[in-house]
């Protein structure tokens, strides 16, 4: 069984990214992550074939024929692999920084900064010796 990933900061489940599909001649994709098709699918299997994902819900239309007008599909994508939102990512970063964790880039910057300070102190000592 596949479990939904949990936020590394708060432990809540991470949100899935859904796609909204519209079918029929007057189908109009008006929103982000929304697609429209000219097809008139008459089964969930046909929607899955067109959408290449797991169908979560459908809206049926019964006029002359029985067909699917809208569908919500999930293709396995999550909003983030590690966090439920930006706030949790930010808090996690603060907690990590408080424990002393840092990236390699930070460690390199600290080394450059220390080398620069050591060089400045050495110059001051030489200057003080010359003037004495």
State the average pLDDT over residues 63-91.
90
Encoded tokens for 58:
């459908």
How many CA atoms within 13 Å lie on the side-chain side of 91?
Answer: 12
* pTM confidence score: 0.60
Percent of the chain with pLDDT over 90: 42
Angle 84-88-94 (CA atoms, 0-180°, nearest 5)? 155
- 28 has a pLDDT exceeding 70: no
Residues 73-81: what's their mean pLDDT? 90
Sheet bearing 54-62, strands edge to edge = 34-37, 16-23, 66-78, 54-62
Confidence of residue 43 (pLDDT cuts 50, 70, 90): confident
Where does residue 76 fall: left (phi above 0), alpha (psi -120 to 50 degrees), or beta otherwise?
left
* pLDDT on residue 108: 93
Tell me which of 123 and 39 has the higher pLDDT: 123
């Amino acid at each position: 069984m596949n479990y939904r990933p949990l936020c590394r900061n708060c432990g809540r489940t991470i949100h899935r990214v859904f796609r909204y599909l519209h079918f029929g001649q007057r189908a109009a994709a008006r929103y982000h992550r929304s697609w429209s098709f000219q097809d008139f699918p008459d089964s969930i299997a046909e929607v899955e074939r067109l959408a290449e994902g797991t169908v979560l819900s459908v809206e049926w239309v019964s006029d002359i024929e029985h067909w699917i007008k809208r569908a919500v599909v999930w293709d396995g994508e999550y909003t983030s692999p590690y966090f439920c939102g930006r706030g949790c990512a930010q808090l996690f970063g603060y907690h990590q920084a408080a424990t002393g964790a840092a990236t390699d880039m930070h460690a390199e910057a600290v080394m450059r900064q220390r080398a620069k300070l050591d060089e400045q102190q050495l110059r001051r000592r030489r200057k003080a010796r010359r003037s004495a």
